[in-house]
A and B are shown apart, each in its own frame.
Chain A
């Protein structure tokens, strides 16, 4: 059974940094692209970033480009998202998500971790 579990969320002041983790099991991690998707309170879904199975290719939403960095540790089947220069509008539940190997759509999701940016 595929399992994804996010951690690392919390309260951080504007301008601060945070690293989110997504631990995985139940599939061959290094065969799959992985994604981060977020959802601000009471709002819709926003795709944030994708990393290819090897980590060589990464894509970002314009809203986070230059501030967030996606990475992965294939030896530990773990996905990361490093958030810097945080803004109030980054407040959201952050989900990690996987789909088919290309990562185009998402059939497995974690439970999400809440990031709150506030002074």
Chain B
């Protein structure tokens, strides 16, 4: 199975900050890659697919980049609604696998 490793595991930031989360795949996955946001007690929400395509309705302060093994989620101008846990996922092969999550906390 392809292992997805996110860093950092958690980050403390203030509203207005720029936050960058990275995800590394254990083998090349082209751009078969997605990012999700999850808040406590809620289902995950798709933010980005195909590594850099913003899902409909997702604010433009979210952006994604990368291909192959290294990927980045950037939140430009953190807002109070963005404090949550973020997960990456590969859909290059089965089994589908997620990263362990990155918690974005209020500083």
Interface size on B, residues (CB 8 A): 22
Q: Are A47 and B95 in contact (CB under 8 A)?
A: yes
* Contact partners of A37 in chain B: CB under 8 A: 44
Interface size on A, residues (CB 8 A): 22
Query: At the interface with chain B, which of A12-20, A21-29, A59-67, A78-86?
Result: A59-67
A46 to B46, CA, bound (A): 15
Q: Are B34 and A105 in contact (CB under 8 A)?
A: yes
* Contact partners of A111 in chain B: CB under 8 A: 43
Q: Using A109-B44, A112-B43 as known contacts, say yes or no to A45 and B98 having CB atoms under 8 A apart.
A: yes
Q: Are B55 and A107 in contact (CB under 8 A)?
A: yes
Additional 9 contacts, C-beta under 8 A, given A45-B89, A106-B36: A37-B44, A44-B101, A45-B38, A45-B87, A47-B98, A95-B43, A106-B44, A106-B46, A112-B43
